[in-house]
A and B are shown apart, each in its own frame.
Chain A
Amino acid sequence: MIARRAISFAVPLLALVLAPFALPPYAATLLTEALILGLFAMSLDLMVGYARLISFGHAGAYGLGAYASGWLLLHAGLPMLLAIPAAMLITGIVAIGIAWVCTLATGVSFSMLTLAVAQLLYSVAFKWTSVTGASDGLAGIPRTPGPFGIAVFGGRMGFYYLVLACLLGALVLCRAVVRSPFGAVLRGIRENEAKTLALGYNTRRYKIAVVVLAYALGGLAGALYAPFAGFANTELLFWLLSGQALIMVIIGGTGTLVGPILGAVFFMLVQQELSSYTDSWALAFGLIFIGFVLFAPQGIWGLAASRFRRGT
């Protein structure tokens, strides 16, 4: 049993590590973007799957991270290896305020507040021309080498491994958190918040903590995107992106961490394949999403896992 589980992790891991050597450059770049989106989706799963805090504004985290790292790289001249963690930190700090506001409410009101906050950030990005470049955004973001002259992550392969390392690191962190006593309380909040409160847990603080962590990791994804694409603009804060992240989580499988990563890869694959045939791929995706919510709420990962269990 343990051997089987080890294999089911080792094989995809090995595949990911060796991918840049096996894939053509175009595909490797796509895979890099898929992994960044995977990190983004996984961070959302922390809120949605483990605490049932449904956010319609996670693009706020992504955009914050992207603009922060973009600005630090472009205008402050920081090297990538400093700018990215700094951007993640900035996102996390802003998220404390966001989380404090949003957790004033529960249920639908919470979700609406997350959307409102993201819309607010979107409009701020348009107005704060001096910092964000308004609708043009930040362009020409460099993959500045350093410190100590480390330049290996600037190239296509190097950057891929940087993204992979961040994704894996975040995954390990999230798994640890979810299995910890903190994670047990989150599960309690998810299943019966009133009871968790009655047991003596300050549930609001736990919710704030998980939202901050989710935003920080979402910000990390955005912070990686800015040097990846070379630009950061208001599209990264747009509500449709928040929607796409939610779709990736649902289709991949909520509460699984790995599922949403799969969901992101699936999303990118479909987007790539379908968009060359038809303009209505996003429509199809919306319908697929509704289908999953109705008929397969456990997502692809959940379906695969139950197949696996039945086969054992």
Chain B
Amino acid sequence: MEFLAFLLTQCLNALSQASLLFFLAVGLTLIFGIMRIVNFAHGAFFMLGAYVAYTAVHLSGSFWLALVLAPLAVGAVGAAFELGILRRLYRRDGSAFLMVTFGLTLVLGEAIRLAWGVAALPVPAPQPLSGIVFILGEPFPIYRLFLIGAGCVVALGMWQFLERSRLGLLIRATSQNAEMVHALGTDVRLVRSCVFGIGCGLAGIGGVFAAPLVTASLGMAPNAIIDTFVIVIIGGMGSFLGSVVGALLVAFVQVFGTYYFPDLALALMYIVMVIVLVARPGGLLGKES
């Protein structure tokens, strides 16, 4: 019975972790699907979301407000960056994108350091969610259950958005054949800016959700982008379903791996990434190889 309780709580742990990772991965894969670029600054936007959440919670006392405000703010920064800077680079080769988004990571990192300081900033979970429940006798934080729910809601919502809505249709069409979409009269550049903004906004939401768990700190960015990249490689660049599958896989590996091999915990992700890159350079469900 004890083992069952342990197994169940660890699985729930993994699912909540998968939710967090999913927010990051779906944004990155969306951006890649449309723009064929890897947004290296994705981890920095995630970090920005966490810090904006901190301020929003401190000013208004409401976590829910932060949940609405942060993605909008982060998405706006992302869209502005795309409009102002990324647009100029579409004719250049891929390394320019990599450099520029890397530069953005540094700039955002420094900006955050200047605005909020170097100390890690705790963000309290909203009141009704800050307690624990007992699952088969084991204590489990309600907030993590909430995360699982939130992840499912966002995943379903995104799926419906991509399948049913007009913008979703445009996005899918543009990822397959941008020229045709352009020929049919849509301003592809606008679609790109929207997608970049949405992708960054999703990273921002991830940051808000993550903040009560990990506290907002400057070290979030590089680890976030590495984790996200591993997921997107596993699931396939540009594949929505892949980001779900990848997030689940990575989360379970992280949670169970850390438990059974605590010393290997940090190396685990990199080993997984290497194995995946060797086995399938195109990811498991990838469109690009």
Using a CB–CB distance below 8 Å, which chain A residues touch chain B? 52, 54, 56, 101, 104-105, 107-109, 111-113, 115-117, 119-120, 123, 127, 239-240, 243, 246-247, 250, 279-280, 282-283, 285-287, 289-290, 293-294, 297
Interface check B266, CB cutoff 8 A:
yes
Task: Return the chain B residue nearest A48 by Cβ.
Answer: B95
Q: Which residues of B contact A239 (CB under 8 A)?
A: 222
Query: Contacts A104-B274, A119-B226, A120-B266; is A293 near B96 (CB within 8 Å)?
Result: yes
Q: Which residues of B contact A112 (CB under 8 A)?
A: 226, 229, 273
Find out whether the CB atom of A283 lies under 8 angstroms from the CB atom of B111.
yes
Q: Closest 7 interchain pairs by CB?
A: A286-B107, A283-B110, A286-B106, A290-B103, A123-B266, A116-B270, A108-B38
Q: Which residues of A contact B106 (CB under 8 A)?
A: 240, 243, 247, 282, 285-286, 289
Find out whether the CB atom of A280 lies under 8 angstroms from the CB atom of B114.
yes
Question: Which residues of B from 68 to 115 have beta carbons under 8 Å from A?
Answer: 85, 88-89, 94-96, 98-100, 102-107, 109-111, 114
**Sample of 20 A–B contacts (CB below 8 Å):** A105-B281, A109-B233, A109-B281, A112-B273, A113-B274, A115-B226, A116-B269, A119-B222, A119-B226, A127-B266, A240-B109, A243-B102, A243-B105, A279-B114, A280-B110, A280-B114, A286-B106, A286-B107, A293-B100, A294-B88
Find out whether the CB atom of A293 lies under 8 angstroms from the CB atom of B103.
yes
* Complex-state Cα separation, A240 to B38, whole angstroms: 19
Interface of B is mostly: helix
* Complex-state Cα separation, A285 to B89, whole angstroms: 20
Interface string of B230-254 (1 = CB under 8 A from A): 0001000000000000000000000
Report the minimal beta-carbon distance from B67 to chain A, rounded to whole angstroms.
Answer: 28
Q: Which residues of B contact A101 (CB under 8 A)?
A: 274
Q: Which residues of B contact A297 (CB under 8 A)?
A: 96
* Complex-state Cα separation, A129 to B198, whole angstroms: 43
Query: Contacts A240-B106, A283-B107; is A108 near B85 (CB within 8 Å)?
Result: no
* Complex-state Cα separation, A41 to B223, whole angstroms: 24
Interface check B267, CB cutoff 8 A:
yes
Interface check B278, CB cutoff 8 A:
yes
* Complex-state Cα separation, A116 to B268, whole angstroms: 11
Partner of A290, one of B95, B107, B222, B278: B107
Report the minimal beta-carbon distance from B80 to chain A, rounded to whole angstroms.
Answer: 13
Name which of B94, B95, B102, B269 has the most chain A CB atoms within 10 A of its CB.
Answer: B102
Report the minimal beta-carbon distance from A97 to chain B, rounded to whole angstroms.
Answer: 11
* Complex-state Cα separation, A101 to B267, whole angstroms: 14
Report the minimal beta-carbon distance from B100 to chain A, rounded to whole angstroms.
Answer: 5
Report the minimal beta-carbon distance from A47 to chain B, rounded to whole angstroms.
Answer: 12
Q: Which residues of B contact A127 (CB under 8 A)?
A: 263, 266
Find out whether the CB atom of B222 lies under 8 angstroms from the CB atom of A115.
yes
Q: Which residues of A contact B263 (CB under 8 A)?
A: 127
Interface check B129, CB cutoff 8 A:
no
Partner of B100, one of A109, A115, A116, A294: A294
Find out whether the CB atom of B226 lies under 8 angstroms from the CB atom of A116.
yes
Q: Which residues of A contact B104 (CB under 8 A)?
A: 286, 290
Task: Return the chain B residue nearest A239 by Cβ.
Answer: B222
Query: Contacts A279-B114, A282-B110, A290-B85; is A113 near B277 (CB within 8 Å)?
Result: yes
Q: Which residues of A contact B229 (CB under 8 A)?
A: 112
Q: Which residues of B contact A109 (CB under 8 A)?
A: 233, 277, 281
* Complex-state Cα separation, A56 to B103, whole angstroms: 11
